[in-house]
Amino acid sequence: MQLYHRQQIESVATFNPHSLSVIENAFSALGRGEVTMPPVLSMAIHEHNGEVDVKTAHIKGAERFAIKVSPGFFDNPSIGLPSLNGLMVVFSASTGLVEAVLFDEGYLTDLRTALAGALSAKYCARDDANIVTVLGAGTQARLQVSALKLVREIDTVHVWARDNAQARQYKAEVEAELGVRVIPHQDVAQACQQADIIVTTTPAKQPILHWQDIPKGAHVTAMGSDSAEKRELDPHILHNADWVLVDRRAQSEVLGELKGLALSRCVEELGKTVASGRPIARSDEAVTVCDLTGTGVQDTAIANYVVSALHHAHGSGDAGAL
């Protein structure tokens, strides 16, 4: 069994068309019914504003499957630590033997989450979408824009965060890293006025985005709500949008933006749209929404990809044997 650390993992897993196709193929398999994926095991640690999620899945025909343990402790930035951490244990799908432990410190979760956001935009946003509004200024707020640049010609980013200093820091970092113009705002509605794509990236427990904030023709990717206590979208958005997609409906109804809602409308799973090979049939003025709660199939797909790449690049000699 091999132990790979974050630096090794980052050397083979980046934002590029190949990694995007890995996640796209995973969603396609999910949409075709070729994935076994149990419900998320989730545990809250209230006294430290923390939670732990365990996710897994098996993709038919895949060489390996992964079990991921993902802690999120949202007060950590105040003491200089990242909010997310964790690791993935990777097993042979034919023997059940452990092949590798990916001690990625949450990096692969960040990567596959942002790539799912890019897929959401690829299949739902207008082809000419180039202005993004990001609500939140943390890690995903940056990575979602990096991933979006794989599928759309993004040139301007509007950002809102509760902490104005974080929004200013976001502007400096994203402009330097991605070469896009970033405009901070102190008001969500103002930040969204010109948006073609809106991405919500917060652990909010009360809605931060409302129906009246969304311009005609915009696409919304909501990726912050992944537990029963969280909600980023006002329910009117789900009732009024022209299209509503989710990564997994059963999961969204428990952990995501569909929880507690009785929607009298069709809700499409992103995987089925991806499997069709065609973007949704939207009009230029339609408002579309995709709720991403994070799925085990993404974890297994990215882990399988990384282990194959590490074995090819390093062999067993550069990893720590356990």
206-216 residue pLDDT tens: 999 999 999 99
- Which pTM does this prediction carry? 0.93
Q: What is the DSSP letter of 180?
A: -
Number of C-beta neighbours around residue 204 at 10 A: 19
Specify the long-range contacts of residues 173-176, CB closer than 8 Å, at least 24 apart.
173/142, 174/142, 174/145
User: Which residues face 35 on adjacent strands?
Assistant: 59
Q: Which helix (H) or strand (E) holds 155?
A: none
pLDDT score for 173? 96
Residue 315 region by backbone torsions, left for phi larger than 0, else alpha for psi between -120 and 50, else beta: left
Number of C-beta neighbours around residue 241 at 10 A: 21
Residue 80 has pLDDT above 80, yes or no: yes
Q: Name the one residue in this structure whose structure tokens are 């809102």.
A: 160
Task: Summarize pLDDT for 159-214 with one digit per residue, the tens.
Answer: 999 989 999 999 999 999 999 999 999 999 999 999 999 999 998 899 999 999 99
Overall average pLDDT of the 3-14 stretch: 96
Number of C-beta neighbours around residue 126 at 10 A: 20
pLDDT score for 203? 87
Nearest to 214 by CA among 231, 230, 199, 202: 199
Residue 317 has pLDDT above 50, yes or no: no
Percent residues over pLDDT 70 in the chain: 97
Residue 218 has pLDDT above 60, yes or no: yes
Overall average pLDDT of the 241-248 stretch: 96
Alpha-carbon separation of residue 290 from 35, 73, 163, 173, 200 (angstroms): 21, 25, 26, 27, 11
Overall average pLDDT of the 54-72 stretch: 96
Which residues touch 60 (CB under 8 Å, ≥6 apart)?
29, 34, 35, 36
pLDDT score for 19? 97
Question: What is d(CA 66, CA 80) in angstroms, rounded to the nearest whole number?
Answer: 29
Question: What is d(CA 268, CA 290) in angstroms, rounded to the nearest whole number?
Answer: 9
Using the CB atoms, write b or e for 205-227: b if 16+ within 10 Å: eebbbebebbeebbbbbbbbbbb
Overall average pLDDT of the 258-272 stretch: 89
Q: What are phi and psi of 7, to 5 degrees?
A: -60, -40
| Mean pLDDT (the chain, rounded) | 94
Residue 269 has pLDDT above 70, yes or no: yes
pLDDT score for 93? 97
Read off the pLDDT band of 82 (50, 70, 90). confident
Which tokens go with 31? 């949409």
pLDDT score for 134? 98
Percent residues over pLDDT 90 in the chain: 86
pLDDT score for 315? 59
Residue 322 has pLDDT above 70, yes or no: no
Residue 262 has pLDDT above 90, yes or no: no
Question: What is d(CA 73, CA 71) in angstroms, rounded to the nearest whole number?
Answer: 6
Q: Which helix (H) or strand (E) holds 40?
A: none
Alpha-carbon separation of residue 236 from 159, 196, 229, 240, 281 (angstroms): 23, 19, 18, 6, 22
